Structure 1
Amino acid sequence: MSRPRARERKPAWLRAFIPKTSPLVVTVCEGCGLYVIEDRETVWESWDYGCVAGDDLTVAIILGRPLTRVTWLPSVGHPLLRSTCGDAGIRPDGQYLAMHMCHLARISVKPFKPPSRERPPGKPWGGPKLSKQEIAEFKRIWDMPYSQLKHEKTPANKVGRGKK
């Protein structure tokens, strides 16, 4: 049995959105030839790859399309799909995928954007604090040619010892 041919180009962002370690798989629908996301964790379901949010969410509800919530797992670097119970599990600030229905237009084709990491505004990184002497020593070594650097002996108390 041969694989079905795609009628469209695969969006580049799908490779980053669903890595090989994910239980989700990007395949081509056998009926219509469009790319779909299959959830193969429990019951196999097919979802359109466009991110449904904002006004598109209203359209999906009016059309009665089943939705699944996309939850991003930063620890593993891939999404997890959580089913919603009709309109009850839908929140306006969420991102969803619409169930794939062959030969019907997609609700959305927007790419999914993982949430940015939370960091309080105005706070610097807060890395190690270096003295002016340590910064000057770093600059001196940084600008030194490699041929001279490999013969240089640095005292252990000057570089890499930071304040404790």
Structure 2
Amino acid sequence: MTTHSEGKGLPNPKNAYRLRIGRYCEPGCLYLLTTITQKRRPLFHDFQLGRLVVNQFRQAHDEGIVTSKAWVVMPDHFHWLVQLNNKTLAELMCRVKSRSSLSINQAAHTNERVWQKGYHDRSLRREEDMRDIARYIVKNPIRAQLAARIGDYPLWDACWM
């Protein structure tokens, strides 16, 4: 069982190592991925820094590693719904987090840790409605009161919209 931060539904960094226990990934399956910035710093209030994360989502998609279904970059975390194609979840997340860290630090003229260790993944069951999960993802900014409508928030996308 994954331990979550109180009221946030996100992994508790003290127990991040537990997220790897029993982790299994399979090409062709759908996964909801979540990771958090170091110390929950709201780096992505800066739109340009958030776009650097988005660029890594797109690169992974364009390289055929995943098929992106939906994503949102929130001020201190992201949610990304993907169909895994030809890498493991660990390889994908290592790639996205390391490459986005490099570009964020370069743009911000810093050399700081961007992401907390680990990530949360959830495999979607076949009977789950992928569109409902995607709607949940892209409505995060509304629930966090960062936008009144999804179109008002700039750091999201879904293949159906």
TM-score, normalisation: structure 1: 0.26
TM-score, normalisation: structure 2: 0.26
* Higher relative contact order (Cα pairs below 8 Å, separated by 6+ residues): 2
